[in-house]
Amino acid sequence: MSFTDELIPPSPPPASARVNLLTLIRTRLFGSIGSTIVSVLILYLLIRYVPPLLNWLIFSADWIGTSREDCTSGGACWAVITARFRLFIVGFYPAEQVWRVWIAFTLLPVALGYCLVEKLPYRRYGLTFAGFYPLITAILLAGGLGLPEVATSKWGGLLLTLVCGLTGIVVSLPLGVILALGRRSNLPAISSLCVIFIEFIRGVPLITILFMSSVMLPLFLPPGTTMDQMLRALVGISLFASAYMAEVIRSGLQSIPKGQYEAADALGLGYWQSMRLIILPQALKIVIPGIVSTFISLFKDTSLVLIIGLYDLLGIANATITDTKWIGLSNEVYVFTALVYWVFCFSMSRYSLYLEDKLHKGHKKK
Amino acid sequence: MAAIDEASHNKMRFSIYDAKFRGIVMQLAAIGGVTAFAYFIISNTAKNLLDRGISTGFGFVSTPAGYDVSQMLVFFPEPVTHGQMFIVGLLNTLVVAGLGVVLATILGLVMGIMRMSLNWLSAGVAYAYVDSLRNVPVLLQILFWYGVLLALPGVRQSIGLFGIAQLNNRGLFVPQPIVQDGFGLVLLAFALAIAASVALAVWARKRQRETGEAFPVIQSSIALIVVLPVLTYFLSGRPLEWDFPVQKGFGFNGGMVISPEFTALLLALVLYTGTYIAEIFRSAIQSVSTGQREAAAALGLQPNQMMKLVLIPQAMRVAVPQLTSQYLNLTKNSSLAVAIGYPDLVATFGGTTLNQTGQAVEVIAITMGVYLTISLLISVFMNWFNACVALKER
């Protein structure tokens, strides 16, 4: 392929040259012989494969039905999704209690909004609410304060995926800050403890950590105590996320000029005061894009809990495929599941890009 | 902070207001806390293991494993022990990770360059590839491809690929090379050709330094490496035969089979990691400032010279640390093989062996130790490589 001709930046067109669509198509699709060959090849593949794909996905698909036999038109059998939609969203959460999940889902955008968007009315109350949101949701979902208890083994689908992801996020931020500060501490014992923890977690696959938390955690506890299967997975996910978060935050701490540390010392601030008031506000702001991309990986990684037997979104998808009523529909189920993950991850990555843009603009103005 | 403290009082006071003293107290407290925690865990574990009647120690590695795996790259006589299963699993992990790293790098490079292309269509294809597959969990992709491969037609309706290989729901059946006498000569010629190319590169570089005359090293090296072994192959009477798979009943005779598990795992890992590597190459090449390109153009360098001499060396500095972490991720993600039953380290040793012996502590410790070692080795190698490409400052 001729990729070398774009290495020299194209000189700007003369002021008089009118750029119309035809010229653009000519230069951008058929600019050179190599480019033309590539364009024709890609166009051929698109025309050959995209219409049948769209046909399968949308136009000749079946949307409603109660079993595989209802899908007769030859396209995708989306009936499997519509029939089992609640299973995909909340898992085996009891039907008469499911309103609690809907309330938690409705409050989530409010809490997130106050965390992410700066200009909202009643920001102070909103942030306080966001701070209490995990506690409120925990009581709402698990039970307590008069609400009947719902065992975590009933949680599933998108609900479980979000619980795993959000718990990982909420725990990993403070833990990550502490680990990052510890790693940069000039007390050798503390910094080496943090280094050992971070590098150990980052060196092994998440699946071995999940195995460890599901198989070995019960062994670690005093005989007789038991621990919830979901809680064990959450411990593993949180520890894993904290180590990665610590490295992101450390890179932010390193990028703060030495003068800031010295200025904080000169003001007579103690270690924790200078970190809280001077260093961390600047460091965390710089690494927000890195933090968001850690969240994206974390959200994708929560799918691994299916291997230790939890029914998260992907776990429900896997269970659906082996259901005798819907057997052989793996393509439909996986495409739908992938779409759900994609919507969450893609919007997070766009948000991160927007933030990066905003941060760069701030630097340019100065 | 420390500097001020040292200057003002070199003597340590035994008071909470003395930074040095406070530091020592805090460290002792941290070490004490960790030791107490470790003691708590170890004593609980010992008690629990005793209660459940699980034996401890590494004696189990020499006991028979009593299970079979589909892909064994080394042959062990029956009965295979748990320790030998460990080696089988480790080799399977290394094969998929090694192949994955190479293929993902190639795919990432192609897609990264396509995304920078002026051609709308090729940039669009690369953009769609990166932004779609990057945002879907790799485990889902593994399961998806596994589902696709299992849905292929059965043995009797195998899809022929150019008359060489056969694809069906039991895997990809490919011809197996059978080495005859005299094949060592071809390998020797291959090694000679590589040595000659290295020597040629050294000579060409020296000549260019001294006289300024360039020599087409890459073209002549490729010619050497291809022509010399091929010539030897035909001259020595074609000492390599291919055993083609022939359909017989419900199976195939001859050839060798690449299992659907392996293909699905490799495909998903390569496609997923490729998206990250494409972005790494793109951002690395774009991070080289426009002034460098203009300067290279002003010096009269041809586009491919510009790429080779100016852009790639500078882009590598940005790319190598990020590539390292992607290679590490790919290796660690290969452990997801356990979800589809590809017999890698986690599935054989960390899975079946653990379930059979119940010795979770030992098995998980060994498994984690292996991944830590692999991570360490890749890091060491990439750090060395990074030191080679890093900016040489005085």
Per-residue pLDDT tens digits for A130-166: 888 888 888 888 877 777 888 888 888 899 999 999 9
Quick check: helix, strand or coil at residue A172?
helix
B256-267 as b/e, with b when 16 or more CB fall inside 10 Å?
A: ebebbbbbbbbb
B114 interaction partners in chain A (CB closer than 8 Å) = 1, 3
Q: Which of 11-70 (A) contact B at CB < 8 A?
A: 27-29, 31, 35, 38-39, 42-43
Question: How close A226 gets to chain B, by Cα (Å)?
Answer: 12
B175: left (phi over 0), alpha (psi -120 to 50) or beta: beta
Which tens digits make up the pLDDT trace of B347-377? 888 888 887 887 878 888 888 999 999 888 8
Cα distances (angstroms) measured from residue B183 to each of B5, B188, B242: 73, 9, 13
Question: How close A210 gets to chain B, by Cα (Å)?
Answer: 11
Question: How close B339 gets to chain A, by Cα (Å)?
Answer: 6
Q: How far is Cα B299 from Cα A214, in angstroms, rounded to an integer?
A: 62
State the count of interchain CB pairs (< 8 A) between A and B: 192
Is the Cα dihedral B264, B267, B270, B274 positive or negative? negative
pLDDT level of residue A364 (50, 70, 90 thresholds): very low
pLDDT level of residue A365 (50, 70, 90 thresholds): very low
Q: Which of 70-129 (B) contact A at CB < 8 A?
A: 113-114, 116-122, 125
pLDDT at B10: 60
Q: Is residue B269 a contact partner of residue B104, using CB atoms and an 8 Å limit?
A: yes
* Average of per-residue pLDDT values in chain A: 84
A301 interaction partners in chain B (CB closer than 8 Å) = 137
Q: Measure CA B244 to chain center.
A: 30
Where are the domains positioned within chain B?
A: 2-51, 82-175+259-389, 177-243
Q: How far is Cα B4 from Cα B2, in angstroms, rounded to an integer?
A: 6
User: Where is B45: in which H helix or E strand?
Assistant: helix B19-52
Omega into A121 within 30° of 0, i.e. cis? no
pLDDT at A1: 43
Q: What is the mean pLDDT of residues A293-302?
A: 91
Q: Measure CA B188 to chain center.
A: 28
Q: Which residues of chain B have pLDDT under 70?
A: 1-12, 249-250, 391-394
pLDDT level of residue A266 (50, 70, 90 thresholds): very high
pLDDT level of residue A239 (50, 70, 90 thresholds): very high
B41 interaction partners in chain A (CB closer than 8 Å) = 220
pLDDT at B1: 47
pLDDT at A337: 92
Residues 6 or more apart in contact with residue B360 via CB below 8 angstroms: A215, A216, A219, B354
Which tens digits make up the pLDDT trace of B224-234? 888 888 888 88
pLDDT at B139: 94
B143 interaction partners in chain A (CB closer than 8 Å) = 314, 317-318, 330, 334
pLDDT at A2: 47
CB-closest option in A216, A318, A328 to B360: A216
| B253 exposure class (CB count in 10 Å sphere: 0-12, 13-18, 19+) | exposed
pLDDT at A15: 59
pLDDT at B280: 92
B47 interaction partners in chain A (CB closer than 8 Å) = 222-223
Question: How close A247 gets to chain B, by Cα (Å)?
Answer: 13
CATH 1.10.3720.10 at A80-93+150-365, yes or no = yes
Q: Is residue B294 a contact partner of residue B229, using CB atoms and an 8 Å limit?
A: no
Q: Where in chain A is the domain with CATH 1.10.3720.10?
A: 80-93+150-365
Which tens digits make up the pLDDT trace of A37-53? 888 898 999 999 888 88
Q: Which two tokens stand for residue B118?
A: 């002026």
A309 at B interface, C-beta within 8 A: no
Task: Provide DSSP, A32-81.
Answer: SHHHHHHHHHHHHHHHHHHHHHHIIIIIT-B---SSGGG--SSS-BTHHH
Chain B residue closest to A196 (CA)?
Answer: B372
The listed range with the strongest mean pLDDT (A50-59, A99-108, A338-347, B380-389) is A338-347
CB contact under 8 A, B121 and A42: yes
Chain A residue closest to B332 (CA)?
Answer: A205
CATH of range B82-175+259-389; options 1.10.3720.10, 3.20.20.70, 2.40.50.140, 3.40.470.10: 1.10.3720.10
B263 at A interface, C-beta within 8 A: no
pLDDT at A181: 92
Question: How close B44 gets to chain A, by Cα (Å)?
Answer: 5
User: Where is B354: in which H helix or E strand?
Assistant: helix B354-357
pLDDT level of residue A343 (50, 70, 90 thresholds): very high
B327 at A interface, C-beta within 8 A: no
The percent of residues in chain A predicted with pLDDT above 90, rounded, is 22
B367 at A interface, C-beta within 8 A: yes
pLDDT at A361: 57
Q: Is residue B96 a contact partner of residue B269, using CB atoms and an 8 Å limit?
A: yes
Of the residues B140, B149, B290, the best mutation for testing chain A's interface (the one with the most A CB atoms within 10 Å of its CB) is B140
B140 interaction partners in chain A (CB closer than 8 Å) = 303, 314, 317, 334, 337-338, 341
CB-closest option in A28, A186, A337 to B119: A28
